[in-house]
Structure 1
């Protein structure tokens, strides 16, 4: 098989494709600010190298999966760019058939204002920002928006998308979508960032959160049609929610509006997530720090230190929400900051249900929490903290899944994430230190690999009573200031851990590590075997073979992303002349054949972001092929890979420092004369199965 040229782009001006406006509104300029993790805790390079005898621990042997829920998405700001190159490439295994699920013609890198899919595939926009999702909702009008209308319309900047079948129907599902953030200059004509109006702020509140939308598939193709169904619902920045776990009722959560510390208004910066095996949604609150102003007005030194560890900034916030609601003014409500940064669970089949924030899973910038279930029904949730030099976590439930359907079983299973033990990862490499020099060169044994252990931080008992496993911190403090607990425990500092997902075929865990250009710079940790490049621009993907309910694991880097023709990239040992260039992995998913799929955010190689398949086993392990690209300025989020349909969210199309609603860079999805609108798309093969 002859492949098209896949590596077409050269270094531009040394900067990433991510625009500064994206960093400003998506993550509060997190990449431009000092690294919040200044702890003296151990990082990978400080740890003694594990003995080679441990390399065999947990290797091999497929694991039986009872149930694995969800396929998801997240993102954040990108860092500087690296080089690409050009040329036609040839498949070295052309005589062998492609792995099932990956037999498609790769899409070449491009900068088009379109979604580009392989030859023989078709696409459809399922739903756009502003489309009505409940009965009586107003039609979208870009020049005449209102908060009342947006509360009944599909939200902005879609990220995670998950699907739950509607019982008793052949083709209907509930599609649950996160709305991570708002980009006000692309939403409002003549937007004045220094003086937003109260109505604009309220529209933004309504455009955050989640949408629950019933959709109907078609038997003849891969289309999904939205339905104004009885389950449809908007969850926003003002929707009432409840706390569970050790922090519920804690003085750390007390505010003027909620003196009991048990309820909270809304959810913010919802990034990736999952569908649980019991049919609910777990949605991660990520860059919540950016919505709050005036951290400099907090006078308690301890509180100030906590705010700094989570990246809260002095002065006004970018969106100026604190002008219209005191809870976003830290000088007036310092504890409000402690009420975001959790995993939120939602029952999509009960539009009247109150979502819950699970403090037992810890508070940090959750990309997601994705679930593996052991043979005895124990639930294990893996999660990354998406910031430079932050950590990888897992939560092991003490309760097991209760069988049965209906609201009774759902309510019982929604307590699973409120009892169990929270751990953080400490990772060690197998190679001698001198073989890890920051260049990305593969060690002499031919791979980046090693062992690790899970360090317990917090145990949550029945009734939400917590037991701290970190000396000098209470259970409530570990639940609310989880980063600081992990610092004390000596967790390993990683390169922006994002989406983490168990492989439903093998039980191995795959975690996207997006990038970290601060790695190896003055005052910051140097490269190590799990993060093998200094000034890491392109990221990597780690594969963990875990004793899910235990405390030991082995690991290996599947990909060290970048230009295949560059010396510092690695594709699981596969011939680099026959792969697509991939940069800044973000979300991960699996198809029914056990192949990994990766969506990207902030491609540092000059192309639009995209979606890629990766073979995990056999001679083709590491073979990476680009399935689609999204429009200029956009990122690819929330991939769902089905037998006959691929669904992704197209987030922030046309987001550019020079673009406004009046002067858009992109006109996707509706063409010339229209504004860019974040949307969900469906892609299918004309008359066939995906990748077959």
Structure 2
């Protein structure tokens, strides 16, 4: 069910990347084989099977009873949550969680209370949207904050009582249930918890939906391929949807990635032959909207009626949560593909550098370096300047190479390959605008490394290293991505976490080294690896999706699609010292839910997570749900949760 609604069954379709570029699995498998050989020769990094995971103190962290009970999530010790299938958010002992806001809760003035039997497009446009994903928390005065959340997609089988709504009504409500929400929250007097400020006292609150006006900037703005009958300028777009991860910029805005946008477009007619290659590379097809058919309620989603509307999606969007009257922007300079998100750091020289993943089997890692420099002064003029940083610069794609040395680790070197600046393309036969609109086709020509679903890619604010969640690639071994001598095992069910170190710590450079920090899965599996930490003292982890960091520099990983038979969860992983690689599960999800977000609050007292698609299992319906979490109704409601020391 998740595959159907979230990405249009992308993994059941042919792999869009048919290029002969090297796949990351080739590099990784070679390195793992090298490390295994070294173990036979007496090396220190074992790959042999070990005893099973024990969540309790018998095999735990060695802390005496009562020790380390700090509220600081980066520093405190806890006994990991055992793998489980509870229909609840289960936290580590000593911690608790609260629902902050749920699907359907009022967001802006005039929003009615949620009533599943009386949903309308007008009410949905004023209420908290469906399937919250990215979570950002930005400061206001005192204990007040702004919660910014994506609403990635809708699942009509779980949203609507059978027979209550027409198909047209469902589609129109769904369009308004996508997008983003900006909601003012207040930290509770008891540290860790948060509550929503009453709508009448929250002037920053805002809903952005599938029909909210956006402007388009960067070199592709106004190109003929972005012009439609409704917008002959090619610079004004209605809405954003399938927004997955995101990031908070150093200048106080939020970036959000439009991911599986292809599934919203289709046609009963003919496709424009001018765009055959472009459509195919992004999985856009006549029947690609078979689950949604928005075109029957809004003709702009019909590829025959309006072949250019699809080019207006697949971008990174920027929202200023501090200005509810502002118009959000789509940044064409960051390229068009299935963006998981975008996360920005500031280089030593003051340039804004954004890291991005293209979430598809066999697609690529990207980065963007701004041409102009960040202004750190806290003025409106500085903010206005900083909000232009993503309009000019250089877009790169990554190539990874194994080092071939018998050093006992799976690592190597890498290169950021230039695709284009805002004025000059480096891809033969393609203009600057061609590269930005058809970024996948452009990248194919420069031989980057195919990755196994690169999702969230984020810089660690403490170390400056970059971490990428590579979720999985269960199609490894088919005709599109064959098994070979360097890839002897078909199927990557559990994924990896990749660590990238920019040479000399320079985020604007073109050379880097890489290291596979985690090979995820059951610690009993000989193929797994946890940064060299003993495998009998780690939590099983499968399908890393999003990453975050605390002020100690620890990595926090949320998972999506646990292939070990347990529910998804949130995990903490130290990155330095003796405990580097010690994966510990902090919380687990309800039935059918994915862990999204996540975010560790600035004061490190709270872990925010978005509980996305609870109850989303095959056969589940509104009347017979697989989950009723958060157990406030007879049906599930996606929600944002705050977890903290009880």
Q: Same fold (TM over 0.5)?
A: yes
Residue in structure 2 matching 1:163, options 105, 121, 137 = 137
1:468-489 per-position Cα deviation (integer Å, ceiling 9, x unaligned): 1111101111000000000001
Change (3 A) 1:411 1:121: same
1:4 matched to which residue of 2? none
Distance 1:295 1:679 in 2: 36
Would you say 1:445 and 2:385 are equivalent positions? no
Preserved CA contact (<8 Å) 1:453 1:551: yes
Unaligned runs of 5+ in 2: 32-50
1:25 matched to which residue of 2? 5
Distance 1:352 1:417 in 2: 21
SS of 2:286 mapped into structure 1: coil
Would you say 1:408 and 2:381 are equivalent positions? yes
Residue in structure 2 matching 1:303, options 238, 254, 275 = 275
Distance 2:281 2:433 in 1: 17
Change (3 A) 1:249 1:654: same
Unaligned runs of 5+ in 1: 1-20, 52-83, 433-443, 461-465, 687-692
Distance 2:20 2:320 in 1: 41
SS of 2:170 mapped into structure 1: helix
Residue in structure 1 matching 2:156, options 162, 175, 184 = 184
Would you say 1:266 and 2:239 are equivalent positions? yes
Structure 1 length normalisation: TM-score? 0.85
Change (3 A) 1:533 1:587: farther
1:317 matched to which residue of 2? 290
1:39-62 per-position Cα deviation (integer Å, ceiling 9, x unaligned): 1334458899999xxxxxxxxxxx
* TM superposition shift of 1:453: 0.2
Residue in structure 1 matching 2:528, options 569, 575, 584 = 569
Distance 1:144 1:527 in 2: 56
Distance 1:50 1:525 in 2: 15
Change (3 A) 1:49 1:680: closer
Distance 2:364 2:485 in 1: 15
Distance 1:591 1:528 in 2: 40
Residue in structure 2 matching 1:214, options 184, 195, 205 = 184
1:437-488 per-position Cα deviation (integer Å, ceiling 9, x unaligned): xxxxxxx53221000000000101xxxxx32111110111100000000000
Distance 2:23 2:607 in 1: 38
Preserved CA contact (<8 Å) 2:253 2:318: yes
Preserved CA contact (<8 Å) 2:125 2:209: yes
Residue in structure 1 matching 2:448, options 451, 476, 491 = 491
2:428 matched to which residue of 1? 471
Residue in structure 2 matching 1:35, options 10, 15, 20 = 15
1:247 matched to which residue of 2? 220
Structure 1 stretch 515-524 or stretch 110-119: which is displaced more?
A: 515-524
Would you say 1:541 and 2:518 are equivalent positions? no
Change (3 A) 1:478 1:222: same
Distance 1:183 1:44 in 2: 33
Preserved CA contact (<8 Å) 2:61 2:79: no
* TM superposition shift of 1:197: 2.5
Preserved CA contact (<8 Å) 1:363 1:481: yes
Residue in structure 1 matching 2:264, options 286, 291, 306 = 291
Distance 2:349 2:119 in 1: 51
* TM superposition shift of 1:241: 0.5
SS of 2:91 mapped into structure 1: coil
Change (3 A) 1:88 1:206: closer
Preserved CA contact (<8 Å) 1:292 1:329: yes
Distance 2:381 2:79 in 1: 47
Change (3 A) 1:295 1:628: farther
In the comparison of the two structures, how many residue pairs are matched? 611
SS of 2:300 mapped into structure 1: helix
2:420 matched to which residue of 1? 458
Change (3 A) 1:40 1:117: same
Residue in structure 2 matching 1:603, options 547, 562, 583 = 562
Distance 2:443 2:268 in 1: 23
Distance 1:456 1:485 in 2: 10
Distance 1:173 1:31 in 2: 38
Residue in structure 1 matching 2:324, options 351, 354, 361 = 351
Distance 1:410 1:246 in 2: 21
Distance 1:125 1:323 in 2: 36
Structure 1 stretch 507-516 or stretch 518-527: which is displaced more?
A: 518-527
Distance 2:327 2:63 in 1: 56
Would you say 1:518 and 2:492 are equivalent positions? no
Preserved CA contact (<8 Å) 1:101 1:591: no
1:506-554 per-position Cα deviation (integer Å, ceiling 9, x unaligned): 100000000001223334155799x996410000000000131010000
* TM superposition shift of 1:555: 0.4
How well do the aligned residues superpose, as a CA RMSD in angstroms?
2.4
Preserved CA contact (<8 Å) 1:44 1:528: no
Preserved CA contact (<8 Å) 1:50 1:451: no
Preserved CA contact (<8 Å) 2:192 2:606: yes
1:117-176 per-position Cα deviation (integer Å, ceiling 9, x unaligned): 01111211000000001122100001111111111100000000101111xx21001110
Distance 1:542 1:47 in 2: 12
Distance 2:621 2:630 in 1: 16
* TM superposition shift of 1:409: 2.7
Change (3 A) 1:233 1:577: same
Would you say 1:620 and 2:583 are equivalent positions? no
Residue in structure 1 matching 2:98, options 102, 124, 147 = 124
2:595 matched to which residue of 1? 636
SS of 2:169 mapped into structure 1: helix
Structure 1 stretch 415-424 or stretch 394-403: which is displaced more?
A: 394-403
Residue in structure 1 matching 2:544, options 568, 585, 590 = 585
Would you say 1:149 and 2:123 are equivalent positions? yes
2:609 matched to which residue of 1? 648
Would you say 1:680 and 2:636 are equivalent positions? no
Change (3 A) 1:388 1:593: same
SS of 2:89 mapped into structure 1: coil
Distance 1:22 1:605 in 2: 17
Task: Give the alignment of 1:357-376 within 5 angstroms.
Answer: 357-376=330-349
Distance 1:249 1:528 in 2: 48
Greater relative contact order structure (CA < 8 Å, 6+ sep): 1
Preserved CA contact (<8 Å) 2:53 2:538: no
